[in-house]
Structure formats: structure tokens, C-alpha cells
């Protein structure tokens, strides 16, 4: 059969394609695969069949499914000219489509070829870089999670403003990068009006210039929208941060299963950019001091940097105290101390201000800090024995004793008196 031939799959910026020139036909057939992704059920892609520049048929499906390929070949073949149909029967198109789909994933993987890494002992090791230290690690997925209405979205918008405005005197006291950068906000929860309202209130209250923000309302899982995101990033090279709000609807599945997390982060990696993913806190233990991201452990495992956001606000109060806890630091960096700020909402709800605040001034925040910090907070106000500290903090006496010994070695506490066999401890200076 003279229509049998070998087709060569090639890679471009959009996906994988193959061009076929059937014997006896003056036109060419092109097969193209876009939106390529690996899911739990197999390799999925949007497959198109072109006749010269005319798209004859397309569909998005699991490329391993024979019935889907057969239907696409049938639909596409009806659009060929009579001459091309004679030179290129439907079984030839189906055969080429089978071979093409079988090669799609392997060819797509070639966009990031394997490389050899050699190290030199005289070469200075280069640690991962920060985009906004210590909240956003560059070119890695970062997670900011918290309970409902814990101002995660507002915190993300503040970080976006710091980045895009190179805002030096920002309320989080973090250093912006020295180059202009923009943010893409992918909103799976609300709408453009909400984002615009919050940005406007921040701009008014903090007397800021116009805050640029690329915004897109999305539906369905992130993996389904990945191709649009990649194209948008190619057209807007100044974007250095993507905010994904939030992972619950963007996962497209059960958060307690690893599959949706794998699909989500596979799409996220394809952006080759820094992301800040907003997530909800687990409700498994409402009183837990250290909350976790809701769902499977995979969400925190895939992330390179994880922060928890907590808010304390009295009913009908225009003041909210916020504390950010570092729950998972990057491998080469240590855990940072909690960072606090307060948000004051205007009475007419048309503006808000954000100001730095010491989270140790809020008892509810202190309860969720390290044992060493809680001990120092107690000793700032009175001198106590190990047992008294243990009783106050409801911690085991041995655990408290070990923490006090470490604080003593660091010069943070000192023995002020000995009563029988018990030492009374005092705070040497306030923790910085």
C-alpha cells in the first residue's frame, strides 16, 4: 500500500505537530497536539487535523483511547478533497493518527531535555533565589493558606503591589526586587469586580499610584486552562508572578486524593514561572496550633515554601490583626519568625490601610508560635520556675526544661534565683 509512510513528530512553542504529504496529492495534512498533559487516566491532549491551513476536525481526549482516534480520523477524512481521499484513504489517516498519538508525550518531554550537571569545589554554591523574600521563592510553587476570610487574597494583592510598584516602605517590611515586574491573577473563586474593589481600597488607603494587575477569571481545573496561561505569558514577558486563587476549585477533583494535586502541579510547572497558590486550612482539628493545607499531604509536599495566614478580628470591628506563620521553609533556608500586620478598614468601606504589627502583642497569635517564643513572652512579665512555665503553657516539664536550656545557651534567659532544687528564670532581653 503506497500510502504507508513514516511521519516525523516535531516540537514547537505550542505543542507537537507532524506534516504528511500523501502520494498523489498536492496538499499536506498536518496533525497537531496542544494542551498536552499527563493525568491519572493517561495522556490527554487537544488533537487537531488540518488540510493545508483549514482545520478539518479536532477534539480533546485521552490519546490512548482507540475509539476517540477512530472518530477523529473519520470526521477529518470527510473534509478532504476527492483527490486527496483517493490518495490518502481513511485507514491511512487513522494509522498516522495512531502513530502520532503514541509519540506525543515522548516528543513533548523533549522540550526540557536531560542535562549533565558537574560541580566544581571552587565554585560558590548558588541557593534558590527569592522573588519576594521570605514569602515567594522564585520559579517555584509557594502556598499561602488559611481559614475562610483570613485575608489571604488581600495579602496576595499586597505582595503583588510590592512587586509591581517596587514598593520600598511596604507594611510587610520586605525588600522588593530591583526590576519592574507584573502579576497575573488567576481567579477560580470570585470575579473581576471583587479584585478591582480590593485593589482600589488598598490604593486609596495607602495613597499608592495605579497598581497594574493582569486578571483572568477561570473555570474548571488549572490543567484545562494551562495552554491559555502559557500563551498569555509568552505575550506578556513582564509577568514574573502568578497568583492562583484558589487550589480548591483549580484542582478539579477531590483534594484528599493525590491525583488532582499531581495534575495541578504538573500544569503549574509548565508555566516555568513563580506561583503563589492560595489554599484553605484543614478543618480536621479546629484547635490545632499548627494547621495544614486542606487535603492530601501532596499539596504541601509539592510546594517549595508554605505560609499560614491567620486573622483576629472582633465583631463589627474595622481593625483586623493578621499573622503569617512560616510552616514549611525551602530546604536550604530556615523557618522565619511569624510576621504580623494590621488592616484598618474605613467606615465607608472605600479604603483600607495596612501597617506593620508585632504578632506577639496578640495572645491568640502567641499560642501558635514556638515554645521558645511563648516562654520568652511569659518571662518578659515575671520570673518563673520550670514547673510554673510548664503549667501555664500546658506543656510537659521536660520539654520546657530543654527549651529553657537552649534559650540559656543563646543568652536569652538567665537564672535569677534558686529555690531549693528549682531554678527561677527571667528574660534577659526581649526577643528580636
Residues 387 and 361 in one domain: no
The domain that holds 208 is classified in CATH as 3.40.50.300
Whether residue 388 sits in one domain with residue 335: no
Q: Are residues 360 and 387 in the same domain?
A: no
pLDDT at 69: 95
Indicate the pLDDT class of residue 4, thresholds 50, 70 and 90. Answer: very low
Using the predicted structure, report yes or no on whether residue 380 has a pLDDT greater than 90: no
Residues 175 and 229 reside in one and the same domain? yes
275 plus 143 within the same structural domain: yes
> Do 334 and 417 have their domain in common?
no
Are residues 359 and 340 in contact, defined by beta-carbon separation less than 8 angstroms? yes
Give the residue-averaged pLDDT of 18-35: 81
Nearest-angstrom CA–CA distance, 53 and 30: 9
Tell me which residue range forms the domain holding 335. 130-366
Residues 98 and 139 both lie in one domain: no
- pLDDT, tens digit, 9 for 90 and up, residues 92-135: 999 999 999 999 999 988 888 888 988 888 888 888 999 999 99
Domain boundary, last residue among 348, 366, 384:
366
pLDDT at position 432:
46
Q: Is residue 331 part of a domain?
A: yes
Q: Is residue 196 scored above 90 in pLDDT?
A: yes
Structural domain contains residue 121 = no
pLDDT exceeds 70 at position 296:
yes
> Is 259 inside a domain boundary?
yes
Question: How far, in Å, CA of 85 to CA of 89, rounded?
Answer: 5
Residue 287's pLDDT is what? 62
Regarding whether 135 and 82 lie in a shared domain, the answer is no
Among 333, 366, 399, the domain boundary falls at 366
Choice between 42 and 187, residue whose per-residue pLDDT is larger = 187
Task: Mention every residue, 6+ apart, whose C-beta is less than 8 A from residue 110.
Answer: 11
What's the 3-state SS for 77-124?
A: HCCCCHHHHHHCCHHHHHHHHHHHHHHHHHHHHCCCCCCCCCCCCCCC
Residues for the chain: how many in total?
Answer: 432
3-state helix, strand, coil in the chain (%, to 5): 30, 30, 40
In a domain, 125, yes or no: no
Mean pLDDT of the chain: 89
Residue 124 lies in a domain: no
> Is residue 289's pLDDT more than 80?
no
Structure confidence at residue 55 (pLDDT): 93
> Of 340 and 13, which is predicted with more confidence?
340
Assigned C-alpha cell, 155:
495579602
Q: Do the beta carbons of residue 3 and residue 21 sit within 8 Å? A: no
pLDDT tens by residue, 234-262 = 999 999 999 999 999 999 889 998 888 98
Q: 138 and 102 in one domain?
A: no
Whole-model pTM above 0.85? no
**Does residue 118 lie in a domain region?**
no
Q: What is the mean pLDDT of residues 163-167?
A: 95
Average pLDDT over residues 338-366: 93
For 39-74, what is each residue's pLDDT tens digit? Answer: 778 898 899 999 888 999 999 999 999 999 999 999
Asked if residue 178 and residue 277 are part of one domain, the reply reads yes
Looking at the structure, tell me whether residues 283 and 252 fall in a common domain: yes
- What is the model's pLDDT at position 220? 84
- Return the percentage of the chain with pLDDT > 70, whole number: 95
Residues 157 and 64 occupy one common structural domain = no
Answer whether residue 380 is part of any domain: yes
4 domain residue, yes or no: no
Predicted local distance difference test score (pLDDT) of residue 373? 86
Q: Has residue 428 got a pLDDT over 90?
A: no
Confidence of residue 301 (pLDDT cuts 50, 70, 90): very high
Cα separation, 55 vs 68, whole angstroms? 17
Amino acid at each position: 500500500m503506497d500510502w504507508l509512510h513514516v511521519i516525523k513528530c516535531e516540537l514547537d512553542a505550542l505543542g507537537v505537530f507532524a506534516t504528511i504529504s500523501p502520494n498523489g496529492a498536492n496538499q499536506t495534512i498536518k496533525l497537531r497536539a496542544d494542551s498536552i498533559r499527563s493525568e491519572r487516566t493517561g495522556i490527554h491532549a487537544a488533537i487537531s487535523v488540518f488540510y493545508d491551513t483549514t482545520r478539518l476536525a479536532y477534539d480533546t481526549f485521552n490519546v490512548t483511547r482507540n475509539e476517540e482516534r477512530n472518530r477523529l480520523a473519520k470526521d477529518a477524512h470527510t473534509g478532504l478533497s476527492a483527490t486527496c481521499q483517493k490518495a490518502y484513504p481513511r485507514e491511512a489517516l487513522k494509522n498516522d493518527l495512531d502513530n502520532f498519538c503514541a509519540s506525543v508525550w515522548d516528543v513533548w518531554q523533549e522540550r526540557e531535555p536531560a542535562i549533565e550537571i558537574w560541580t566544581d569545589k571552587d565554585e560558590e554554591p548558588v541557593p534558590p533565589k527569592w522573588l519576594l523574600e521570605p514569602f515567594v521563592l522564585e520559579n517555584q510553587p509557594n502556598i499561602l493558606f488559611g481559614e475562610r476570610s483570613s485575608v489571604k487574597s488581600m495579602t496576595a494583592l499586597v505582595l503583588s503591589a510590592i512587586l509591581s510598584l517596587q514598593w520600598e516602605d511596604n507594611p510587610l517590611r520586605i525588600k522588593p526586587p530591583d526590576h519592574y515586574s507584573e502579576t497575573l491573577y488567576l481567579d477560580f473563586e470570585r470575579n473581576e469586580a471583587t479584585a478591582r474593589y480590593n485593589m482600589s481600597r488598598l490604593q486609596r488607603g495607602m495613597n499608592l499610584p495605579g497598581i497594574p494587575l493582569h486578571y483572568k477569571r477561570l473555570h474548571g481545573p488549572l490543567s484545562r486552562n494551562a495552554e491559555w496561561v502559557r500563551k498569555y505569558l509568552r505575550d506578556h514577558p513582564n509577568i514574573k508572578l502568578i497568583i492562583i486563587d484558589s487550589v480548591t476549585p483549580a484542582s478539579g477533583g477531590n483534594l484528599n486524593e493525590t491525583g488532582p494535586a499531581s495534575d495541578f502541579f504538573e500544569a503549574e510547572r509548565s508555566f516555568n514561572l513563580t506561583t503563589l497558590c492560595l489554599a484553605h486550612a484543614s478543618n480536621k482539628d479546629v484547635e490545632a496550633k499548627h494547621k495544614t493545607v486542606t487535603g492530601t499531604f501532596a499539596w504541601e509536599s509539592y510546594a517549595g515554601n508554605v505560609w499560614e495566614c491567620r486573622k483576629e478580628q472582633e465583631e463589627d470591628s474595622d481593625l483586623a490583626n493578621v499573622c503569617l506563620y512560616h510552616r514549611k521553609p525551602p530546604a536550604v533556608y530556615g523557618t522565619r519568625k511569624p510576621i504580623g500586620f494590621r488592616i484598618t478598614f474605613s467606615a465607608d468601606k472605600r479604603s483600607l490601610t495596612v501597617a506593620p504589627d508585632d504578632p506577639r502583642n496578640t495572645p491568640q497569635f502567641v499560642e501558635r508560635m514556638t515554645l521558645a517564643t511563648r516562654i520568652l513572652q511569659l518571662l518578659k512579665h515575671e520570673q518563673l520556675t520550670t514547673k510554673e512555665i510548664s503549667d501555664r503553657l500546658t506543656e510537659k516539664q521536660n520539654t520546657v526544661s530543654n527549651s529553657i536550656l537552649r534559650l540559656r545557651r543563646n543568652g536569652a534567659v538567665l537564672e535569677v534565683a534558686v529555690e531549693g532544687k528549682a531554678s527561677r528564670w527571667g528574660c534577659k532581653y526581649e526577643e528580636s
